[in-house]
Amino acid sequence: MSTENKKMVANEQYQITVEAVRIKGVSDDGRQYDFIAFHTYDKNGKKSKIKFTKAVDKKLIPDSPGTYIVTVNKKDINRDKNNKYPVYWIKAIVAVTEYEGTSKDNEEDLPFDKLN
């Protein structure tokens, strides 16, 4: 592979739709926990966990539940094959935007009768 092709592959970016879910509870020994867990679905519809390394800027990691579009460079994401289920580790984030898909406040015409 030529050096130009290697640079093109290194600059390749992925847009990942990531769902952030707040997990709250109390452990068996009485300690409370509260954190955000991240997951996504690959192109085959398989659910995968998303984790971030300490190198990622904390300001870019979503801190509230919701759906986000996370843009990462190809060189900054790795698959951990040591787990039973797929886990992707992200080392750096290019950009994060909130997903603008369907929402509860959507005023589009739905095929239902309005009550009000």
Instruction: Say what the pLDDT of residue 49 is.
Output: 95
Torsion angle (degrees, nearest 10) of CA 78, 83, 85, 87: -30
Instruction: Say what the pLDDT of residue 111 is.
Output: 66
Has residue 80 been placed in a domain?
yes
Establish how many alpha carbons lie within 13 A of residue 70's alpha carbon, considering only the half-sphere containing its beta carbon.
29
The 10 Å Cβ neighbour count of residue 92 is 15
Has residue 20 been placed in a domain?
yes
Answer whether residue 98 shows pLDDT above 70.
yes
Give the pLDDT band (50/70/90) at residue 20. Answer: very high
Has residue 104 been placed in a domain?
no
Has residue 84 been placed in a domain?
yes
Has residue 111 been placed in a domain?
no
Answer whether residue 7 shows pLDDT above 60.
no
pTM across the whole model:
0.74
Instruction: Say what the pLDDT of residue 22 is.
Output: 95
Return the higher-pLDDT residue of 16 and 7.
16
Structure tokens at 26: 């109390």
Has residue 92 been placed in a domain?
yes
Number of domains in the chain: 1
Give the pLDDT band (50/70/90) at residue 3. Answer: low
H or E stretch including 3?
helix 3-10
Q: What is the mean pLDDT of the chain?
A: 84
Q: Are 76 and 53 within 8 A, CB to CB?
A: no
Has residue 109 been placed in a domain?
no
Answer whether residue 10 shows pLDDT above 90.
no
The residue segments making up the domain with residue 65 are 7-98
